[in-house]
Structure 1
């Protein structure tokens, strides 16, 4: 048997150290092939894009440039027009990325339900907008102006901005039932008693003068969650949420009691959705106001609802900014707010090619005969305050321009009535149907 000796120095090397590559110690000698070898460079490498396109390898250069540009576009890289020379306030200002209003999306869904039950979702960013300013810029070499753009087809839409689309043979419904369930679970109302209406009109709500708030952070969190729901698919709680949001800074037990009622109402109406059908394929508006009441503070409340295809597409409930002196003035202020929204909707529909042109005036229903008579009259009353006269002239101009037409509707048939005050159960159910709110499976 032969004993193999071990060098103690080499035994101390670790496995990592033994794997380190070693540099060769062989002396490097420049190879000499003699004077018979000559290398010729047919042409120099192109320096500019123009040189590359004029070279013998222009085809290969085009492919390389296209590959590079495609990678830049796919990565969303922007070309800056010498941004290093631009100065804030002179060459550029605050910018924003415009997105569609929820009202616009609901109008498109309602129009789609009047035509077909299919609603396809596509995605595309349009970067080349029209400039109002004079801009002098050198176009990058090789740039090709496109008259056609690629668009990503995402198939039939099921969810848009957190709103579910439910298709049926009768049309399309939009729902946020999953969001309502999330709110109920998040704030611990799974085992709460159900409320039949969202607001108790007998409860007086006023500002908390004590300055001691009750769970202010939790209150504001719930209000924020409900506002998103209200703006999306639940106009039936618009008045309650709008009123309770005024006391977010310092809520008391009375405010919490009213907010608790809204959550218990939502628990019993989780499956409500706005249904859009094929009829009526016409845009209608409803306007209403509540004047100063003993439990509403010093300002009235305005509310409006616009329906298309049997479902609400636009609505609002808000405290009036003016202190009105009569029911007539309160109704006139509400009608002016409704007219402003009607004018915007009229402009939107005028730009859609699927809508027959010219558009007829939008029928706006109001339950105040005095207000309607005042709008139709051309008499000038010096007793009417200037701020009321301005709103009156604005409404008359919309009627004259055939943007809106004002009709009378009974209070019980006014769909906007629950957006200005608390109602009993029968009126709540009737107004919900008028707004297209129905239970879906």
Structure 2
């Protein structure tokens, strides 16, 4: 966990998320907390541990230091339509992850936070963090991230789908690319490898990205490739629930009620 915490602080400092200032009179800095989570592989095993520095945004005042709030997630119907398209046209589905996505939003409101314990700047221990960019936990963080991502995509030739504003399409003479955004995860499909590569290169030049190659898990849904197409299932999630409730040794019976979603040619 220590390595995960250090990586998070390094990302925040590299991103210039805050500047150290003396706390203005009449202002009270917000506190923070650490949240830890495990990123899982397609088979349900642990990929890596991740630490997030989260400001106590529940102490923010609406109309004073935040206004609009919302979260950017592609509709499940859009996801299924895109995956069905990949099957019909024999396309590949790639996946990318934005590291510390919420740190990219440009903050307009004046918000102060305590320096993280153990990471106070030498000689400036009495100062506080004045946020310049967004941070996890802020009420407006998801909205600011989506605004930044929108701007980058539109400036690079993409258009926003009229039916789902978290689906982006770039249609050129060389081919097309479709991107589905799920907060900080994204699926990318294209009419050719070069179209996908150019999109990845564009995103890497603008954000701190992790290229996950061919997609295998998105939002807890496992993507299996077969000769006939794609199969979506949550078998590893079911196994996790059974393990949690000590029901892993129960007998198995067939059920006509549930079948994995499949897209066949």
Q: TM-score range by the shorter chain?
A: 0.3 to 0.5
Higher CA-based Rg: 1
Please identify which structure carries the higher strand content. Answer: 2
- Greater relative contact order (CA < 8 Å, ≥ 6 in sequence): 2
State the TM-score, normalizing by the size of structure 2: 0.35
